Structure 1
Amino acid sequence: MSGPDPAIQLIFGPPPAGIDLTDSLTVAYDVVSCVVLGIAAASVGLRFYVRTMRGTNNLAIDDYFVVLGLFCTGALVATTLIAGAFDAGKHVWSTTLPRLMTLLKVVFAEPWVYAASVTSTKISVLLLYRRLFYTGDGDMLVINRIFTMMYWGATFFTCVYPLIMWIVMAVACRPLNFFWTQYAGATEGKCINYLQFFLIFGIVNMVNDVIILLVPIPRILKLHMNKRKKVSVAGIMLLGSFVCVASIVRIYYLTKLTTAIDITYILGPAFGWSSLEPSVAIIGACLPTFAPLFRGIRNKGSNSSGKGSHLVNLSATPNFLKQQSHFRIEESDEVELTNKSYFQGESRDGEGSVGSEDVERDIRGITVTSQVQVVSDRR
């Protein structure tokens, strides 16, 4: 194109002096969005492998919600790629009016997909919290009032978030196509200040991200662990804090969008960070489920070296238990995110026994016991 589209100049004015119309952010955000989505997909695959390894099926509803979140996030990344194909991330004076019309249709569609993506992912995280911290003794949420308020507050807003978003988008403009035709010179229509809505709702969504991030901390602090373990487990949970960072950066670009003239250039990062946020959330939601895999790798390394580990698979060593009158496993220097518990029963001859139930419990939740003791008394 020899120069800016006259129709674009009529709407947005002439380009500022010295602006490089070949400058583009599109490729960078497209590549990063696809790479992080790939990591999220690999994390979900690894999560399902860990949850079903050893021939057991420990899949729960939070696992299925994270898959739903992955599919929705894939659709969200697709909107980012389509937007980039129609000049999101490029200066508005380097596009044409027909291409801008198509881009604005993608802008209209994106919040619908974004709401589905972040909601399904957050529900997966909240269900994971419930599974990990459920005590089996009544409602886990009665145990800690702060946990209760934060958990149900985050759950409520997470569930109503997409409903509010979809309702507002459905009435954003009248007629609906005025959302994009207003830039083509249409005058018969009216829109709410949807850019301001995106900004305010983005801030509320970020606050909800922070609440979800902090929800497990009160429960972790009450676990029967030493302080170092509590800090380590809380740190693993807080690895999802990058979701809040992505949310903040997204809000920054939404703020710029409310006053920007060069809207297509700002839309590139806005689309990019909107798709990065749920991808990172999926990765964070899968991290606590990986511990059995890493423990298995560690134990294999320890077994091959013949030293350096004091963890013993009790279910595989019944003869050893029979030969020992007192046997203790110290795990005070281990930080694990699986519910590795040993079931102690008593056989007819009075000897401690360990059943196959131990193997099944090996990949379910967070360890809250730092010491396990098995005592066998001969009669």
Structure 2
Amino acid sequence: MILLRRLVVFALAITATAVSQPKQMPACGAQCLSTGLTASSCDPKDAPCICQDDILQSNVSTCVVMSCTIKEALLARNMSSTMCQLPVRDISDITPNITSVFMSLGIVATFMRCLQFKKHFGAEDIFAVLALLAAVAMGALEYPMAKDGMGRDIWTIEPENISRIIKFTWIVEMLYIAIMSWIKLAFLCLYLRIFPNEGLRKVIFVLMALVSGFFFAFLIGIALNCIPVSHIWTGWTGETEGECLNFNSFGIACSVINIALDLAVIGLPLREIQKLSLSLAKKLLLMGMFGAGFFITIVSILRLKVVIDFANTTNATYDNVPTAYWSVIECFSAVICVNMPAIRRVFKKLTASCFGTTETESYHDPSDSPVRVMKRRATELSILKTVNTSVHSERRCDESDKVQLVERNKT
């Protein structure tokens, strides 16, 4: 990580060194300012003049970057900013507050799904629960990161806190890859269970392979971004040796591929739903439920923008805050979206209990092979599973289909 390419306002540091804080100002910073003052019209004791001399500040900043270690440069910047009374920026509370809201919604949504595990439990449920657990772990790390200084200017944070923030960020990035991959796999497993179209099922298997490849490739890439691994959170100091990938390019590539997979997974069933012989209201409801996933894609695009902007930052702990909270919003929104069918069923059941609704719909669980002779009917019954309130066992559903087929043949 390259930090502090444009350090400014070191001017008053020499005054602090000479008068009140002789042991704190790094010698390299004092020497740079002393050299810069020889070409300036400002008196060494004229703090306002020194702080407002842009040419002097630029010369001193360049000198400090070349002469000081990163830790020394951070200390010098902190002292000069304090002496020149620059405003102290602190947005460390934004990400924890957003995390609290979206984490609560994600937990409630998944809990509603868990209420129905006795009636049905499939592969999509496993991936949905795994995604929530990873999202909660990711969100939990945002609180100690904020406490350590995430959201403040990097020169105001202790070096050990900076290292800890970078380490937690590294863990968060791996959890992010896991969450987004597992959410996609949860959707794809749901599609396999409710769509009998053989062509579509082949596409689903291809997408599952692509998502799995995305998961392993980027998870390993992030985990082993630097060799040795500890160089990931110690390399910023310039005091350790190691080799790293270009993480900015790696992160941008990850975001672009993630967006492409989102569009493919969320858009896959919409055409199939449009073909169903359902009422317009039910079609709109189902398309709305699946289409809500496009909100995740919009958030992913917004996150990509801040990732690109972050690539050029020299103030990582302050400028990385938008990336952090957009990641939180994206992950927990995905958790909520994948649980929308379960949420709908719970709310419909509550509505029926509170208002005495008599409308009933049959619930079909086609977890086994689709009935070949009734493909369209099986598809409709399977889709309606996502919006039903009464659940039957697989065997009873199969028997019900057979009875319906016999009755239709009689008529």
- TM-score calculated relative to the size of structure 1: 0.72
Give the structure 1 partner of residue 87 of structure 2.
20
Report Cα offsets for 1:267-326 as digits up to 9, x if no partner: 2222222222221111101111233333333434553xxxxx673689xxxxxxxxxxxx
Larger radius of gyration: 2
- After superposition, the Cα gap between the structure-2 partners of 1:98 and 1:295, relative to the gap in structure 1 and judged at 3 Å, is closer
1:182 to 235, 239, 242: 235
Give the structure 2 partner of residue 240 of structure 1.
293
Give the structure 1 partner of residue 103 of structure 2.
37
Amino acid at match of 2:192: R
Map 1:246-257 → 2, pairs under 5 A: 246-257=299-310
1:198 to 251, 269, 294: 251
1:65 to 95, 114, 127: 127
> How many Å apart are 1:238 and its aligned residue?
1.2
1:311 to 359, 372, 377: 359
Greater fraction of residues in helix: 2
> How many Å apart are 1:336 and its aligned residue?
6.1
> How many Å apart are 1:152 and its aligned residue?
3.4
Give the structure 2 partner of residue 345 of structure 1.
none
Give the structure 1 partner of residue 336 of structure 2.
283
C-alpha separation between the residues in 2 aligned to 1:312 and 1:129? 24
Amino acid at match of 2:316: I
> How many Å apart are 1:337 and its aligned residue?
5.5
Give the structure 2 partner of residue 85 of structure 1.
147
Report Cα offsets for 1:334-367 as digits up to 9, x if no partner: x9664769xxxxxxxxxxxxxxxx85169x99xx
Amino acid at match of 2:262: D
Which structure 1 residue ranges, 5 or more long, are not aligned?
Answer: 304-308, 315-334, 342-357, 366-371
Give the structure 1 partner of residue 158 of structure 2.
96
Paired residues in the alignment total 313
What RMSD in Å do the two structures reach over aligned CA positions? 3.6
C-alpha separation between the residues in 1 aligned to 2:217 and 2:231? 21
- Mapped contact 1:172–1:192 kept (Cα < 8 A): yes
Amino acid at match of 2:266: L
- After superposition, the Cα gap between the structure-2 partners of 1:8 and 1:214, relative to the gap in structure 1 and judged at 3 Å, is same
- Mapped contact 2:74–2:154 kept (Cα < 8 A): no
- After superposition, the Cα gap between the structure-2 partners of 1:64 and 1:313, relative to the gap in structure 1 and judged at 3 Å, is closer
C-alpha separation between the residues in 1 aligned to 2:361 and 2:211? 41
C-alpha separation between the residues in 2 aligned to 1:5 and 1:25? 27
C-alpha separation between the residues in 2 aligned to 1:237 and 1:12? 52
| Bigger Cα displacement from structure 2, 151-160 vs 99-108 | 151-160
Map 1:1-379 → 2, pairs under 5 A: 8=71, 10=73, 14=77, 20-21=87-88, 23-49=89-115, 51-52=116-117, 57-133=119-195, 135=196, 140-142=197-199, 144=200, 148-149=202-203, 151-186=204-239, 188-303=241-356, 311=359, 338=386, 360=392
- After superposition, the Cα gap between the structure-2 partners of 1:94 and 1:313, relative to the gap in structure 1 and judged at 3 Å, is closer
- After superposition, the Cα gap between the structure-2 partners of 1:302 and 1:185, relative to the gap in structure 1 and judged at 3 Å, is closer
> How many Å apart are 1:44 and its aligned residue?
0.9
Q: Percent identity?
A: 20
- Mapped contact 1:5–1:97 kept (Cα < 8 A): no
C-alpha separation between the residues in 1 aligned to 2:250 and 2:75? 23
Amino acid at match of 1:284: C
C-alpha separation between the residues in 2 aligned to 1:225 and 1:9? 69
Report Cα offsets for 1:197-256 as digits up to 9, x if no partner: 011111111111121110111210121124443233101211222211221222122111
Which structure 2 residue ranges, 5 or more long, are not aligned?
Answer: 1-15, 27-69, 363-382, 398-403
> How many Å apart are 1:266 and its aligned residue?
1.9
- Mapped contact 1:76–1:117 kept (Cα < 8 A): no
Aligned with 1:188: secondary structure?
A: coil
C-alpha separation between the residues in 2 aligned to 1:169 and 1:265? 22
Amino acid at match of 1:10: A
Amino acid at match of 1:293: V
